[in-house]
A and B are shown apart, each in its own frame.
Chain A
Amino acid sequence: MVKGLNAVMKKDILVMFSSPIYYIVSFIFTLICGYFFYSNVMYFNLLSIQASSDPFLSEMLNLSDMVIKPFFGNIIIITLLFIPLLTMRIFSEEKRQGTIELLFTYPISDWGCLLGKYFAVMISYVGMLLWTLPLVVLMGIIGSPDWGIVLVAYIGILLAGMGFSAFGVFCSSLTENQIISAVLTFGGLLLIWAIGWMKRLGGEIVGKVLEYISMTTHIESFSIGVLDSRDILYFLIFCSFWLYFTKKVLEQRYIKR
């Protein structure tokens, strides 16, 4: 076990739950998810009515394709918008208050400190995500979704959230201003999300590299119900890179031995 991880994690979770930001973020997150779920179901209901006079349309009516996949696609985008709000204070606040030097003088390992904070963000994120489960149960009541697709979609959202959080933690380590941290995280994630669109401009190899870096390439398999080790590993590599980078940034600035 990494020394001090538990203590830092507990402390950060307590801080997170003492702040109104987390609650407001959770409330807005569930409200938007609920709204998207409702509008997807209503649109599907409308198409089902129209399909009674259009046999071509009726063949396309599939709950997984027309409700589940778009719904989880929306959740990932919402996650991309909200994760910066969870990670923005994680190091920035400590730096602003000047407690970060103190933190690194405690008898805890560097990784313990870093991972403790990271897991605190992840637990908060999972806490938010759990509120979408009633919507999935509702989906199961009104129709017969493909539960394999639902399971894989949740794994994808979780992995994407891990990646977003790791990048957010890194951005938070760069500045003591929470707003700057959130903007950096959001802008950076958006860029990484869509960098694959630039592949047309580069040559074949550059195009392939950009396509690999882009998150959209790796999220697709999760949206169609396929678990692909390449995509799982991409997110793990993504997390490892940004967490390691964060550690090096902190080492460089604060750790004096």
Chain B
Amino acid sequence: MKSGQRRAIIFFSFFMFVAILVFVGLLSLRHYTRIDLTERKEHSLSDKTKKVLDKATSDIELIGFAREGMDEYNSIRRLFAAYEYYSKKIKTRLVDPTRYPSIAQKYNIKQFNTVVIQGYDRTQTVKYPNEENITNGINRLIEGKTRRIAWVKGHNERDYKDEKEKGMSILKENLEGENFEIQEINLLRERLDRSFEICFVAGPEGKFLEPEISALEEYLKEGGNLILFMEPFSDSGLGDFVKRYGIVLREDIVVDPFSKAQGGDFLLPVVVAYTEHGITRDFALATIFRTARSISVDRQINPTFDLTELAYTSKDSWAETDLENLFKGKVALEENDKRGPVCLMAIGEGRELPSDEKGAKGKLVVFGDVDFATNQFISLGGNRQLLMNTVNYLTSRFDFINIEKIHKPIQPLLLSLKQKRIIFWVSVVAIPLTVLGISLLMWLRRRPR
């Protein structure tokens, strides 16, 4: 055989071999197996998630928005890998918003570590992408139910369509991102029924009439969720209504010198402490309010309601009652004032009662302010997250799938001086010297003489 022919055969066989390897590689990407050998199956999906994924009948895309190289990027990637492995219906991709701002803009991504779930001609946005939240997002997408929110009007409330500073259009966008549909409701003409998962009353200025208050009462009785944003000094007649459930709206305004120290105003109280509750679980961000009133709870009034004060200002703040001097610019803590920490947010949760007993099954959340949720303030600190956590908590019992988080064991290692020395001598001295000793012996025996 001539050398030219031989070379041609070598090259041909080489390229054929490479082609086979490429084919095998591509095939391995399509058909693969993953075995999670960690003790707690940290990288496997729970049975509840698997059940949800089994319901999928068409493709669902998970788009993760995170900054490349960050820990969150890697954890989303690993989570996606577990979803993709279990279900062929799940497709995933990760987008770094700093590299692809147009894609981030298309999905209205305002913060890193967000997952958009897309499919069934709908989208769901998940802000804290862990298995529980993603699975719930997928479940909502598959179920396809648009969740309804009632927005009470007729008392000069803040407008959710208003894009100006005092409007609440940003909150509306966030709610729509969670598959909510907002509908204005006039309590005198339309019925507030349980098809609305939440009812918002956003800073009413006008007085509520008796039939309107009865409608709210009936809604709570049926198990509805009511969120009230109550500005100080606005007598809308809802003070007595919420008092029936044990939540007391105080006639004062919260003064916070800490906020002044941070370059703000006395009347911009900062919430720094939260009670342990489903809404505030793992929540550590400060929230900024504006001209807020204090709230307190009285558990004696309505024993069928579980009451919790949720958010507090700093202990340096107080609830000012001397408005005359306040508006003259004189602020000082006096005897009549309530000393901080001052509560600005409370929740009352009705217990499930036998049908013959009176009481409400619903949940009532009261904020002592509305400004913190407006377009001007919602993006500050943790305001938006506190609101969305509240909404998610209130609507959770409808379809929420609770997936237990895998907790890695906390394994502190406290070594005595003796133990440290042993570790040093074994790892850095004894093992290498043993290798050296054995090596010398072997080499002396085998070296060429």
Contact = CB atoms under 8 A, between A and B. Distances in A.
Contact of B35 (A14, A142, A226): A226
Interface string B142-179: 00000000000000000000000000000000000000
B35 A131 contact: no
A184 B34 CA distance: 34
A142 B413 contact: yes
B241 to A, nearest CB: 40
Contact of B439 (A27, A58, A244): A27
A138 B419 CA distance: 11
Interface stretch (A84-92, A114-122, A171-179, A229-237): A229-237
Interface in A65-113: 65
Interface string A206-246: 00000010000000010011111110011001001100110
Interface string A133-144: 011001000111
A97 B11 CA distance: 28
A212 B25 contact: yes
Contacts of B429: 34
Interface string A186-212: 000000000000001000000000001
A37 B420 CA distance: 12
A31 B21 contact: no
Contacts of B29: 212, 230
A18 B447 contact: yes
Given A26-B439, A241-B21, A227 B415 contact: no
A17 B156 CA distance: 90
B443 to A, nearest CB: 6
Contacts, number: 154
B43 interface: yes
B426 interface: yes
A152 B410 contact: no
Nearest to A14: B446
A25 to B, nearest CB: 10
Given A135-B431, A248-B10, A224 B78 contact: yes
B105 interface: no
Nearest to B39: A146
B412 A226 contact: no
A248 B7 CA distance: 10
A240 B23 CA distance: 14
Interface string B399-429: 0000000001111111100011001101111
Contacts of A225: 36-38, 42-43
B107 interface: no
Interface string B1-29: 10000010010011001100100110011
B101 to A, nearest CB: 15
A61 B413 CA distance: 9
Contact of A45 (B37, B38, B39, B415): B415
B70 interface: no
Given A146-B38, A225-B36, A44 B413 contact: yes
Given A62-B411, A226-B37, A138 B10 contact: no
Interface of B: 1, 7, 10, 13-14, 17-18, 21, 24-25, 28-29, 32-39, 42-43, 78, 99, 408-415, 419-420, 423-424, 426-429, 431-432, 435-436, 439-440, 442-443, 446-448
Given A144-B411, A148-B38, A151-B37, 16 more contacts: A17-B442, A18-B447, A23-B442, A24-B439, A30-B435, A42-B420, A45-B414, A45-B415, A48-B413, A61-B411, A62-B410, A142-B413, A221-B34, A224-B78, A225-B36, A226-B35
29 contacts: A22-B439, A23-B436, A23-B440, A23-B442, A27-B432, A27-B435, A35-B427, A44-B413, A45-B414, A58-B412, A59-B410, A61-B411, A61-B413, A62-B408, A62-B409, A62-B410, A131-B431, A131-B435, A142-B415, A149-B38, A152-B37, A200-B99, A226-B34, A227-B37, A229-B28, A233-B28, A244-B14, A248-B10, A248-B13
